[in-house]
Amino acid sequence: MQQAMSSPSALPVSLFAAAPALAQADRSLQAWVCLDPAPQAAASGPLAGLDFGVKDVLDVAGLPTRCGSPASDATPATADADCVARLRAAGARPLGKTVTAEFAHVWPGPTRNPAHPAHTPGGSSSGSAAAVAAGMVPFALGTQTGGSMIRPAAFCGVLGFKPSFGALSRQGMRVMCPSLDVIGWHARDAALAQRIGQVLLPPAAPLPAGKRPALRWLEDLPGHPLSASAREALREAAAALQARGWMLAPGAPMAQAAELLQCHSLLVHHELSTSLAALAEHPALSPRLRAALIQGRKQAPADTEHAYARLQAWRAHAWEADFGDADLILTAGALGPAPEGLAHTGESGFNKAWSVLGWPCLHLPTTHDARGLPLGVMLVARPGADHALLAWARQIHPLIDRRPRAAA
């Protein structure tokens, strides 16, 4: 079985001088790559007093951005990524960098799942989800190309938000796949997720008072069947909403599911091979990433051009074609609980369709299986309805959250 790569730089004990408890907790969890020895934040603001983690594909001034690989440049960043700067200006404090899978792709780092250390935390935003789930920070930044925000949120049992494509500036991010990559966040509860959105997302008009969204309930995810436990968690959430008078209409399976997954594969391999061309022969690259780069270079240009054309058409028309006047889709954020083992990050095929479509997605943890592994559901909203999604999640989550300690 393939083994996870070691962290590109061990966490220096000196960097933990101001946070010895965090250092002790992370010796087994391994969610962090490095900490800022003297983290600074604004004295006031809407997020004052909150610490956060930053996935190691986003710049934090004074710290290197290693992208989960010793093949990357170790020179410290001279400025914060735009999203980090906005959060810092709002009073939050970036503690340091969290572990990512190699170049935000599939080869895992050393992070373990706080709920069950022998199981994967998901990826590629593994350290961010694990740090929030372990209570190390109330929120953390991550990114998603396929399922890199939602799947770790589902496996670790925290909220995970993937905004609409293009909603956030990617200045200061190591962009691997320009047509798919988005910056998102993991958070301890829905209220905090919304507060972060008010800082990072473009402003939007408030929802009409008392408006309830029109919901579609989708059990058949694009390209993959749900496990029994994930299906039960989804049905229980739907039943809880219906019992409180919320209207849910069944959603039909997406006719273009297979095309969406094929499109994602074509775009990822082409764009990775372009973005990482200068490192293609680096001996530190994992076998899986090296194979992906080779596949991208061999890809027929006509196939790539067709994928880009389909992407634009779907993003313009797919919501109306598949979901009509619905406001939200209630579905699953993962096929089931986190699988055992640390040499992989779990199946992400069903997440990829939503990433191709560019729609905002939010995972809500709701329960656990018999082993204590987290389960939950996902809400998907119309493109651009990010603020509405976060606002509705604050209404919905308390109604469906069956964990002993409700998150909202």
Please answer whether residues 207 and 298 qualify as being in contact, where contact means their C-beta atoms are separated by less than 8 angstroms.
Answer: no
Question: In the structure encoding, which two tokens stand for residue 216, read together?
Answer: 């579609």
Q: Which helix (H) or strand (E) holds 260?
A: helix 257-275
CB crowding 369-407: b at 16 or more within 10 Å, else e: beeebbbbbbbbbbbbbbbbbbbbbebbbeebbeeeeeb
Buried/exposed 32-60: b ≥16 CB within 10 Å, e otherwise: bbbbbeebebeeebebeebbbbbbbbbbb
Q: What angle do CA 141, 289, 342 make, to 5 degrees?
A: 65
Distance CA 127, CA 142 (A): 9
Question: How many residues can be counted in the chain?
Answer: 408
CA dihedral 179, 391, 171, 277 (to 10 degrees): -30
**In the block, residue with structure tokens 């209409």:** 249
Q: Which residues are catalytic?
A: 55, 124, 148
Handedness of CA 232, 233, 239, 240 (dihedral sign): positive
Task: Tell me the C-alpha distance between 189 and 226, whole Å.
Answer: 25
Question: How crowded is residue 61: how many other Cβ atoms within 10 Å of its Cβ?
Answer: 17
Task: Measure the CA–CA gap between 97 and 359, rounded to whole angstroms.
Answer: 27
